[in-house]
Structure 1
Amino acid sequence: MSTVFPHDPLVAASSVGMEAERLERALALFRSQQARGVFPGGQLVVRRGGHCVAQLAVGLARGFRQVEPPVSVTLQTRFNVFSASKPLVALAIARLEEAGQVELAAPVARYFPEFAAHGKGAITLLDVLTHRGGVLLPDFIHSWERWGDWEAVVDALVRAVPRYRRGTLAYHPHEFGWILAEVVRRVTGQPLPAFCERELLAPAGLKGLSFQGSAAEASQVAHSYWVGSRPMHVGQVDVSVQLEQAYNSPQVLTALVPGASLWTNAAHLAGLYEVLVRGGVTRSGERLWAESTVRAYTSRAVFGLDRSNRLPITAGRGFLVGAPWPTFYGAWGTSPCFGHAGAFCTLGFGDHSTGLAVGIVTNGNAGPGDFLRRFRPLIGALRRACVHPT
């Protein structure tokens, strides 16, 4: 077993102020979900106080469909975590904001001039970070064979006509990452993955978070499955059909889809949230973001009915955050929680009040109702296990 962060050895729950029995109940719940067939396979990693207190790997990474040979999940198995990638994109923008290279109130077109075409000139970086830009690309998203062509992505963004008026809350499933990645490229001269690796991931010891890779590497990524009984649409896209067809294909796994595709495991996801819970400081003591910046990005910026999913959401700048009212983090009092779901199977999150940093990665999707039933009690159990301050 690795002894290197984020796969460092386990410590006793009591050593970081957690009650072992309560923690075990949360772990048992995760195991029972997989045993009941809620998802084929997954990982759960829990960190607190700079230490790892739980790490589980259960079930199948591949082989849920009979046409595939079975492959078991290990702690090192990488999954596509879908929109759980969005916070990393947002954090790249935060890095540029702190360096004075971008202003969130500025139009996207200041950095990506062609984007202004077709009435998009007033849309700001903050609008995109908070899903209020109004730009959706359902036709291009259906053409997933083209996602690997960055010039085609940029052309689609330029040609796009806003579906909603600027300021309308409409979740940008893919557009979020494509727009902001192009801003990063224009400002720094580097593709988003290279910028993130140099400026964020290497200093944090988290190079196991990858936006894309080779076809050989893609062949080792866990497959994703739709296990729901009914179709599900997000932004005019039937994800129940597209999820397996597109996201298990080498074309998509090797494409740069920064707002909806990231290869990683639960250990690295939890490691990222540990840096944020620490106020933007890595384990080596290097500060990647000011604590005030972390708080600004992980606090509530908008709340309302999301036109894309037709569900209420509470969002920060690239993060889905808790609230005094019910959210997927719990029934009440989850305002200190911040993170992001990935499709309907994955969640990375941190908790400013308890100091938890958690990665929950699975490969079974059945829609938002199933996501709530799975994750709300699991997160609640983990938070209740934190009985003493760290």
Structure 2
Amino acid sequence: MTPLGSCHDRFHGVRDEFARLLDTDEVGASVAVDLDGETVVDLWGGHRDEGRTTPWTRDTIVSVFSSSKPVTALAILVLVDRGLLDLDAPVAAYWPEFAAAGKEGVLVRHLMGHTSGLSGWEQPVTMEDLYDHESAVARLAAQTPWWTPGSAAGYHALTQGHLLGELVRRVDGRTLGRFIADELATPLKADVQLGVRREDDDRVAPVVLPPAIELDTSGIDPAGIPFRTMTGPLPRAELANTEGWRRAEVGAANVHTNARGLVDLMRVITLGGAAGGERLLSEATVDRVFEVQADGVDLVNGVHVRWGTGFGLTPNDAFPSVPTGRVCWWGGWGGSVIVMDQSRALTVSYTPNRMAAGSGVLTFERTKRYLDAVYSAL
């Protein structure tokens, strides 16, 4: 199947790889690449639905799961740049209730770097409980950390968006979704939403679920941090196709966008704080992204991860497909990804609706093939 959109000749390998995958593994998807402020790849193709009855069009959007986290991190960085948040200040300076249960020393950068000790909610909790922001953040404020804050990283799979979203609300007054719309997406003309507007429901591509995998939990310690995180709550991909998920603001996981939208927004990091004629961040604030918050085996993912301030950094065992350098990134369940490579002035994104099997952040073959094609062109 021939992808639609535009692609500079230099990146023909990306277009060719996309065409091959549209004929085999994809249902619908989009791929975008920005090089030094110029969009050199903007491709989409396939179908929005598993039955392949509705084409994926230029303005199709999809839930990108944890590729949402860089968007939420960018919102925090904007507030830091404006002097409304200090990365080195205690969270409780802005959110007094958060000081409960031994968290008075947790810093804003601990939330950004997944080192706060709050990688999940205490049971009982369901995914639907996360739709009630006030209740969900009150529970986190009262909760005792699962390890000494700042001592190690443990992937805050779902909690990070609520924790950072509450900081936005405390210092700005707006919800995270409203702040993203007003202060990020609108000035950068990026098609990115946290909480889908009803009028945009017909643009959303439903998620195509991966094959079910039977997990052997017999050797997993139910009191261990990985189990408590991944069951607090247990993620259910099928919720992405419900109205409740689309209306909620789960800042760690339910941004809806496409590859062009993510690139239009996140290239501001690659380009030193300014893109599309708008400056969102100073270069000094962008530099803070690359300050290492943790460098070791992640307590949740079980692989070596280098965490910067809000983003993964390379080199990184969870992300072998990108060369080392001044690079920050993150990816989502099922295969979506956003890479900001300052060393090469390169921003890359991929957003599919057919989720790849697996639970690793970037153990997805399709994602690797697109990234390999992009870097081969350089």
TM-score range, shorter chain: 0.7 to 0.9
Contact 1:336–1:351 (8 Å) recurs in 2: yes
Following the alignment from structure 1 to structure 2, what is the Cα–Cα distance between the partners of residues 369 and 283? Answer: 30
Q: Is 2:273 aligned against 1:280?
A: yes
Following the alignment from structure 1 to structure 2, what is the Cα–Cα distance between the partners of residues 345 and 73? Answer: 17
Contact 1:120–1:161 (8 Å) recurs in 2: yes
Q: Is 2:338 aligned against 1:348?
A: yes
- Which deviates the most, 365-374 or 71-80? 365-374
- 1:202–1:248 Cα change, 3 Å: same
2:46 pairs, out of 50, 59, 66, with 59
In structure 1, the residue matched to 2:301 is 309
Following the alignment from structure 1 to structure 2, what is the Cα–Cα distance between the partners of residues 175 and 201? Answer: 23
Displacement of 1:142: 4.6
Following the alignment from structure 1 to structure 2, what is the Cα–Cα distance between the partners of residues 172 and 370? Answer: 16
Displacement of 1:290: 0.9
TM-score normalized by structure 1? 0.83
Letter of the 1:118 counterpart: A
- Which deviates the most, 225-234 or 333-342? 225-234
In structure 1, the residue matched to 2:281 is 289
- 1:242–1:225 Cα change, 3 Å: farther
In structure 1, the residue matched to 2:220 is none
Following the alignment from structure 2 to structure 1, what is the Cα–Cα distance between the partners of residues 249 and 189? Answer: 22
Displacement of 1:177: 1.0
Displacement of 1:110: 1.1
Residues 166-196 of structure 1: CA deviation (Å, up to 9, x unaligned): 1221000111110111111111112122223
- Which deviates the most, 126-135 or 244-253? 244-253
1:267 pairs, out of 260, 278, 281, with 260
In structure 1, the residue matched to 2:35 is 48
How many residues of Structure 1 are paired with residues of Structure 2 in the alignment?
Answer: 361
Compute the RMSD of aligned alpha carbons: 2.7
Following the alignment from structure 2 to structure 1, what is the Cα–Cα distance between the partners of residues 347 and 119? Answer: 32
Following the alignment from structure 1 to structure 2, what is the Cα–Cα distance between the partners of residues 48 and 264? Answer: 20
1:115-264 equivalences in 2 (<5 Å): 115-138=98-121, 142-167=125-150, 168-206=152-190, 208-215=191-198, 217-218=200-201, 220-228=203-211, 230-231=213-214, 236-237=229-230, 242-264=235-257
- 1:33–1:141 Cα change, 3 Å: farther
Displacement of 1:74: 1.7
Contact 1:79–1:264 (8 Å) recurs in 2: yes
Contact 2:84–2:171 (8 Å) recurs in 1: yes
Contact 1:329–1:375 (8 Å) recurs in 2: no
Could you tell me which runs of 5 or more consecutive residues in structure 1 were left unpaired when the two chains were aligned: 1-8, 14-19
Following the alignment from structure 1 to structure 2, what is the Cα–Cα distance between the partners of residues 335 and 149? Answer: 40
Following the alignment from structure 1 to structure 2, what is the Cα–Cα distance between the partners of residues 151 and 369? Answer: 28
1:354-373 equivalences in 2 (<5 Å): 354-363=344-353, 364-367=355-358, 368=360, 371-373=363-365
- 1:236–1:90 Cα change, 3 Å: closer
- Which deviates the most, 179-188 or 337-346? 337-346
Task: Tell me the SS of whatever aligns to 1:54.
Answer: strand
Following the alignment from structure 1 to structure 2, what is the Cα–Cα distance between the partners of residues 98 and 300? Answer: 19
- 1:142–1:57 Cα change, 3 Å: farther
Residues 11-61 of structure 1: CA deviation (Å, up to 9, x unaligned): 744xxxxxx2xx222332233334332x43211112223322222223232
Residues 63-102 of structure 1: CA deviation (Å, up to 9, x unaligned): 35xxxx8433222110111111212222222122222222
Contact 1:344–1:366 (8 Å) recurs in 2: yes
In structure 2, the residue matched to 1:320 is 312
Following the alignment from structure 1 to structure 2, what is the Cα–Cα distance between the partners of residues 75 and 234? Answer: 39
In structure 2, the residue matched to 1:4 is none
- 1:384–1:234 Cα change, 3 Å: farther
1:335 pairs, out of 320, 325, 328, with 325
Residues 242-288 of structure 1: CA deviation (Å, up to 9, x unaligned): 4333222211121010111101111111112322222111222x321
Letter of the 2:38 counterpart: H
Contact 1:271–1:357 (8 Å) recurs in 2: no
